Amino acid sequence: MNDPLSQIITLLEPRAVLSSIISGAGPWGVRYSDLGQPSFGVVLEGSCRLVVDGMEAITLQAGDFLLMPSTPGFILSGFEPVTPVPIDAKLTSTSADEIRYGTPNVPPDVRLLGSKFDFNSPNAALLISLLPEMVLMRGVERLCVLVQLVNEESNEQRLGRDLVLMRLVEVLMIEALRCASSEHAPPGLLRGLADPRIALSIRQMHAAIGRAWTMAQLAKEASLSRSAFYERFSRVVGMPPMEYLLAWRMAVAKDLLHRQDISIAEVAERVGYGSASSFSTAFSRCVGKPPGHYARESRYAWQS
């Protein structure tokens, strides 16, 4: 699969989706604490104000879709000045009833569907660093339909529910992120894939991770000189090309060691190392422990 975005989302393995309807009326405001895990939401009707930590305030309107891969703290409110009520985001759970803030028993000024979930990946922190802090899309009907399907599935106990939810969230994230891919995106994978030259080299790295790539070869794939390629890749992706390649190799290696009972030598070959010893040295330097030790710990944690 020569699709870097799909590969990264698949490797993240989203799971454990919890959804709820939130509405507000009159003077209201809540401050959610830093969640540290992914979330998304869609405005079903009306409008409200959102202030994410470290960002400027924005107005959310009906049809807006929001994705935050790591969900920092944020304030959600109406447009009247209020002191936000603090809420521990990690303690909130799914609710069959609508969560109402502000004035009860009156038509809401806004209704939102919010969902949070987990990434079942040992590489979550690394892979999330390649994605934008926040994705806001407006009027994309496909995203709204996907969110509604996630909500329906999460609130029913059908056979295959967990697998269906995982696949729905994978599709939803890919759809949102590819819509957000542009040359104006912050440095990261989306901006890299929006750059025609840099995208060629990224796709080649992902398609042939086991190849012994050099800077010159990657620059040739992008039809750039070595110096121009290095500067352009570093600027749009946010890290040098060989550092990106190393990060992706280690992410794939950790996933293989976590999920498959294969030898260190086979993992080394799959991710582009000429010997098990050279791979072990690189892995230990990046991860902080030898691959054999990591594999034993990871499998034990997964089974327990």
What's the gap between Cα 47 and its chain centre? Answer: 25
Shared domain check, 298 and 200? yes
Mark whether 119 and 206 lie in a shared domain: no
Contacts of 109 (CB under 8 A, 6+ apart): 24, 25, 26, 46, 47, 48, 78, 102
Q: Which of 163, 180, 197 is the last residue of a domain?
A: 180
Give CA–CA dist 273/211, Å, rounded. Answer: 9
pTM value surpassing 0.85: no
Please name the amino acid found at residue 69. P
Domain interval for residue 235? 189-303
Residue that is last in its domain, among 128, 149, 180: 180
What CATH number is given to the structural domain containing 229? 1.10.10.60
Calculate the average pLDDT of the chain: 89
pLDDT over 90 (residue 10) = no
258 and 173 within one domain:
no
Residues 136 and 273 in one domain: no
The angle that helices 161-180 and 4-12 make with each other, rounded to 10 degrees, is: 140
Domain co-membership, 169 together with 223: no
Whether 205 and 158 map to the same domain: the answer is: no
Beta strands in the chain (DSSP E): 14-25, 29-32, 39-52, 58-61, 64-68, 74-77, 85-87, 99-102, 110-119, 135-138
What pLDDT is recorded for position 16? 74
Write b or e for each residue in 234-258: b if 16 or more Cβ atoms lie within 10 A of its Cβ, otherwise e. Answer: bebbbbebeebbbbbbbbbbbbbbb
Domain count, the chain: 2
Closest by CA position to 66, among listed 42, 98, 91: 42
Indicate which CATH number applies to the domain containing 130: 2.60.120.280
Does residue 229 share a domain with residue 173? Answer: no
pLDDT value for 299: 67
Examine the domain organization and report whether 134 and 237 are in the same domain: no
Co-location of 150 and 242 in the same domain: no
Task: Tell me the average pLDDT across 263-281.
Answer: 94
Whether 32 and 154 share a structural domain: yes
pLDDT given for residue 1 in this prediction: 46
Mean pLDDT to the nearest integer, 49-57:
95
The one-character DSSP state at 134 is -
Residue that is last in its domain, among 138, 154, 180: 180
